[in-house]
């Protein structure tokens, strides 16, 4: 397989999908966490069959990393889909109650139906999303203390964990799961840019080269402010004096630096996918 072809679907993701198919029977709705930088590519087509017609709350997470006007377009889009509602969230901060309110909103009919019988219904929601979209951190922000296993690498969350985030709302965290078919390599690249596909299984020089080309094409002013006129890995390495002991260009160090600059928002607030792309 050529190094420029991105494909990653480890065995634990197959197991995760099987678990989700079983657990979906016990939930009232789904909290579908998306990475705000890639609102289209962070949708996993495999989830559609699993979710069926259960209500979905799309949460555009990491919203602090992207321009709000662009995000508003996606909120409108996802809120317009059948059985769906969409809000933005910055999971690094304590939730302000809007997520729990939104969960109750999309389950309002069921809640009212139980109330007519004198029962206060506890809503159970499954939290799903691609790796590294911030699902566990989002749950932690809801309970304001760490009870779930989190990490900044894709594929960290394991096992079944029901967590009460409100008196009448419980959520189930699930492992971050990708789709098995990466025939759309543009989506695969976007997932790799944000770290949803492990750097270890991708040719990092190829990836950083593609990222740099993409950023220059989409956001030339932002890149110029950071790199001047450097448009290649070699030029970035020369500018930063990234050389090996043999005075050769240190491609690995430079490639990691370019990826880190993007992931740490050094280019400013950027969204890689717009509605009209």
8 A C-beta contact, residue 58 and residue 86: yes
Instruction: List Cβ neighbours of 164 (8 Å cut-off, separation of 6 or more).
Output: 143, 170
Top-confidence residue, 63 or 198: 63
pLDDT in tens, 204-222: 999 999 999 999 999 999 9
Counting residues of the chain whose pLDDT is more than 90, the rounded percentage is 66
Which of 73-87, 152-166, 192-206 is the least confident region?
152-166
Q: 3-state secondary structure string, 187-242? A: HHHHHHHCCCCCHHHCCHHHHHHHHHHHHHHHCHHHHHHHHCCCCCHHHHHHHHCC
Q: Tokens at residue 184, please?
A: 């759309």
Cβ burial of 144 (10 Å; 0-12, 13-18, 19+) is exposed
Residue 254 pLDDT > 90: yes
| Domain limits, the chain | 11-173, 203-263
Mean pLDDT of the chain: 88
The greatest distance separating any two alpha carbons of the chain, rounded to the nearest whole angstrom, comes to 78
Number of residues that make up the chain = 277
pLDDT in tens, 87-145: 999 867 766 689 999 999 999 999 999 999 999 999 999 999 999 999 888 888 888 65
8 A C-beta contact, residue 140 and residue 147: yes
Q: Tokens at residue 37, please?
A: 């930088």
* Mean pLDDT computed over 160-176: 86
Instruction: List Cβ neighbours of 236 (8 Å cut-off, separation of 6 or more).
Output: 212, 227, 230, 242, 254, 257, 258
DSSP SS3 for 74: helix
Start-to-end CA distance of the chain, whole Å, equals 29
Residue 148's pLDDT is 45
Cβ burial of 124 (10 Å; 0-12, 13-18, 19+) is middle
Nearest to 186 by CA among 276, 272, 254: 272
Nearest to 133 by CA among 46, 74, 58, 78: 58
Q: With bands split at pLDDT 50, 70 and 90, how would you rate the model's confidence at 181?
A: low
Residue 152's pLDDT is 47
Residue 3 pLDDT > 50: no
* Mean pLDDT computed over 181-185: 73
Q: Which residue has the tokens 């890149």?
A: 223
Q: With bands split at pLDDT 50, 70 and 90, how would you rate the model's confidence at 2?
A: very low
DSSP SS3 for 7: coil
> Any idea which fold 11-173 has?
Rossmann fold (3.40.50)
Q: With bands split at pLDDT 50, 70 and 90, how would you rate the model's confidence at 146?
A: very low
């Amino acid at each position: 397989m050529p190094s420029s072809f991105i494909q990653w679907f480890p065995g634990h993701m197959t197991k995760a999908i099987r678990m989700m198919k079983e657990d979906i029977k016990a939930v009232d709705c789904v909290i579908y966490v998306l990475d705000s930088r890639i609102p289209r590519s962070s949708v996993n087509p495999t989830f559609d069959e699993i979710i069926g017609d259960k209500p979905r709350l799309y949460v555009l997470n990491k919203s602090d990393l992207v321009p709000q006007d662009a995000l508003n377009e996606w909120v409108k889009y996802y809120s317009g889909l059948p059985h769906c509602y969409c809000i933005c969230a910055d999971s690094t901060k304590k939730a302000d109650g809007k997520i729990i309110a939104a969960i109750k909103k999309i389950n309002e009919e069921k809640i009212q139906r139980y109330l007519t019988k004198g029962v206060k219904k506890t809503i159970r929601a499954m939290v799903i999303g691609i790796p590294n979209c911030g699902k566990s951190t989002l749950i932690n922000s809801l309970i304001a203390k760490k009870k779930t296993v989190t990490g900044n690498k894709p594929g960290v969350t394991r096992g079944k964990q029901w967590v009460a985030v409100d008196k009448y709302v419980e959520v189930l965290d699930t492992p971050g799961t990708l789709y098995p078919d990466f025939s759309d390599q543009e989506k695969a690249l976007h997932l790799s840019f944000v770290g949803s596909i492990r750097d270890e299984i991708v040719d990092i020089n190829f990836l950083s080269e593609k990222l740099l080309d993409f950023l220059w094409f989409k956001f030339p002013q932002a890149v110029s402010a950071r790199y001047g006129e450097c448009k290649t890995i070699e030029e970035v390495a020369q500018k930063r004096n990234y050389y090996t002991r043999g005075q050769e260009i240190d491609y690995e160090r430079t490639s990691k630096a370019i990826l880190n600059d993007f992931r740490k928002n050094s280019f400013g607030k950027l969204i890689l996918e717009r509605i009209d792309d």
